[in-house]
Amino acid sequence: MNVAADIKMQFLFHLRSKGVMDTRVLTAMEHIDRAAFLKGLFRDRAYEDVPLAIGCGQTISQPSIVAIMTEALDVQPRHKVLEIGTGSGYQAAILSRLGRRVYTVDRFKRLVSEAEEVFKALNLTNITAVTADGSHGLPEQSPFDRILLTAAAEDPPSTLLAQLRIGGIMVLPVGQSDAVQRLIRVTKTETGYDYEELRTVRFVPLLEGIGQD
C-alpha cells in the first residue's frame, strides 16, 4: 500500500474511533482531500486531527469535529444546506457531497475567494460562497433543510432559526468564545424547537459585520 493510502486509512479509522459511523459521512471525508484547503507547511499536517491556521486569523476545524458535526446534521441528497463560517471551505466541500446544494457564508472576502478557487479545482459545482455577515443568514435562499454554524454563537440566532424549514435541523456551537462551548442540535417542529446537547467543543466566535481582509 502506498503511504498516502495508508495515511487515509488511518484517518478514517481515527474518525470511526471518535464514534462517527455514518458511511456517507466517512466516504465524503475519504474523497475530499483536506490538504487541498491548506497552504505551505500546513499541507503536510492535513491528516492530523488538529485545527490549523488558514489566514485572516482563522482556522480549519479539526477533522473529527467536522465529521461529528456533519453526522449530527444528517444531510440527505435532496437537501439545501447553509453553512455559516466558510473558513477554508473544507466543511462546505464535505457537505456538498452529501446534499443537493450548499450555500456557505464568511465575513472575510479573502477566505471566500480562496475557498471558491479550491471548489473550482476540485470540480465541486454545487457550492455557492458568499461574503456577508452570516448572522443574517441568506433570506433570499431560505428556507434551508439544514443549517450549520462553524463559529460559536451565544444563543442560536433567531434570524437563522427562522430560515430553517419545518422538520429542518441546525447544528451549532453555543457559548462564550473564551469558555467551553456546547455543540447543540436544534430541530424545528410544527410547534417550536427541540434542543439536544451533543458534546463540548471550542470554536472561534461568530463576529458581527464584514472582516477587513
Q: Please say which residue, 177 or 187, places its beta carbon nearer to ligand SAH.
A: 177
Of 49 and 133, CB closest to ligand SAH: 133
CA distance 91 to 113: 15
DSSP E strand stretches across the chain: 52-55, 58-60, 80-84, 101-106, 127-131, 144-149, 164-174, 181-188, 193-201
CB of residue 54 vs ligand SAH: minimum separation in angstroms?
A: 6
Spatial CA neighbour of 49 closest among 39, 62, 32: 62
Rounded to the nearest whole angstrom, what is the least distance from the CB of residue 132 to ligand SAH in the complex? 7
Angle at 132 between CA 128 and CA 136, to 5 degrees: 100
Q: How far is the CB of 89 from ligand SAH (least distance, A)?
A: 6
| Separation CA 179–CA 104 (nearest Å) | 26
Interface positions with ligand SAH (CB under 6 A): 58-61, 84-85, 87-88, 90-91, 105-108, 111, 133-135, 150-151, 204, 206-207, 211
Least Å distance, CB 138 to ligand SAH, is: 11
Of 41 and 191, CB closest to ligand SAH: 41
Tell me how far apart the alpha carbons of residues 70 and 110 are, in angstroms, rounded to a whole number.
25
Count CA atoms within 13 Å of residue 71 on its CB side. Answer: 19
CB of 56 to ligand SAH, least distance (A): 6
Nearer to ligand SAH, 66 or 169 (CB): 66
Please list the active-site residues: 61
DSSP code of 36? G
The nearer residue to ligand SAH, 2 or 122, going by C-beta atoms, is 122
Rg (CA), the chain: 16
Residue type, 158: S
